[in-house]
Structure 1
Amino acid sequence: MDNTLLQSRIDFGAMKREIYSYLCSYRILPEGMSMNDHTTSTIIAEAMKTGLLTDELGFKMWDIAKKHEVQGMIGAKLEEGALELIQQLHGQLHLAIVTNNAEEAAMTALQENRIAHYFDLIVGREAMGFLKPAPDGYLEVLKYFHATSPQEWLSVGDAWVDGKASQDAGVPFIAYRGDIARMHSMGVFPLAEIQNIHGVLDYLQPPIMK
């Protein structure tokens, strides 16, 4: 969703640093982890794996993330061409959003831009066991649309975590203005790379006219 449909202003670096500092302060995670090797979601995944994250500490951790998300979503505008694409696909294909953001923050931004109603399903982090790069969110979509197979879907995103999650769920992934070298280094190999969101139309079956 972020930087694919919406021009997000979320400061992901600040979110990651604050959450990591919080987890270190309670000795959930060790000092000195390389922030270059992690996203907020992988930091949280490491914390969850320790078994040390109590419900109370977990709630406070998610509150930090939500604070950054809500701030970053204020006034968020649509990516160029996103509205036209969504309107064109609406009613012809199943449309779903998978986001690591809290559902409340995601819905607020989508409703402000008047596009929430175009989507059949919106999966926020509350519906996932683990966040992207884990495939849980995409598996929720496949479970909801149980009559479809992974190969009948296309996933579009800008980050390697999107590609990794999609790939591990068996869903073909298209990189939208992504860092392809970074994706390859993380074992993500997109079906295609596009610079214009309408480029997705070239990979739909049956083809939908631009």
Structure 2
Amino acid sequence: MSYAAIIFDLDNTLLNFELCERQAILGALEACGISLDLHGINETSFLQVYETYNSKHWRQRETFSPGELIEMSYRSTLAQLDIQTDQISNLSQNFWDIFNHSAVIEPDVNKVLAALAGSYHLAVITNGFVSAQIPRMQAAGIEHFFEEIVVSEAIGFAKPSPEIFHHTLSRLDLTPAQVLYVGDSLTHDYAGAMQVNIDFCYYNRKNQVLPQEVQPKFLINELLKLLELLS
């Protein structure tokens, strides 16, 4: 096979979104002097409640800013757990300060990118906010590997919309047949790549069983295996 470019998803493909978010959620509590131990609540319980509300509130991301959504998530979580504080706005600010500088990368990311950079054009397509995604890549020290970093907020289209893929192909001046896309989401990455006839490599980081109708071109559970299949 002869690809000219490898395009990556960002969250839970290159960066471990779950650990970055966990650091930010709990780090903000610590920065604002809110002790879960004093309220008899363990971290796992707090995170479970937070994630429930966070998923709900982020469905309103077209209406509210990221900071407002984080405030809403903390406010709902603390209310349910009966934790009183006047630090809601500070929690949100601290969350973003920590999250935007979190640099928890997936295993072997630097080795894989360094190996590919000499032979392929590299790019990223990510859903999210420019103010978060770019600083996180910089904090991880990986942004220099990529010729193009396409963030959904910047162009007004998010995966799996074909427009974000077409935009990236245009920036790279390549056709779909010249590109391999690597991602962890069947809903956003696989579905999007299939719509524009880009070969898809599914990074199955949790070894999930795929639905029978899902048939990616390649499947890996370690990023290092990407080097093997491209060799």
Fold match (TM-score > 0.5): yes
Distance 1:59 1:164 in 2: 25
Q: How does 1:59-208 map to 2 (within 5 A)?
A: 60=64, 64=68, 70=96, 72-146=99-173, 148-160=174-186, 161-177=188-204, 181=209, 184=211, 188-204=214-230, 207=231
Distance 1:156 1:132 in 2: 13
- Count of matched residue pairs: 167
Q: Is the 8 A contact 1:7 1:79 kept in 2?
A: yes
Question: For the pair shown, which has the larger CA radius of gyration, 1 or 2?
Answer: 2
1:62–1:91 CA distance, 2 compared to 1 (3 A) = same
Q: Normalization by structure 1: what TM-score?
A: 0.68
1:126–1:73 CA distance, 2 compared to 1 (3 A) = same
Q: CA RMSD in A?
A: 2.8
Distance 1:63 1:196 in 2: 34
Distance 2:67 2:108 in 1: 32
Q: Is the 8 A contact 2:129 2:151 kept in 1?
A: yes
1:19–1:77 CA distance, 2 compared to 1 (3 A) = closer
Shift of 1:162: 0.8
- Unaligned 5+ segments in structure 2 are 1-9, 23-50, 72-91
Distance 2:177 2:214 in 1: 17
Which protein has greater RCO, CA pairs closer than 8 Å, 6+ apart?
2
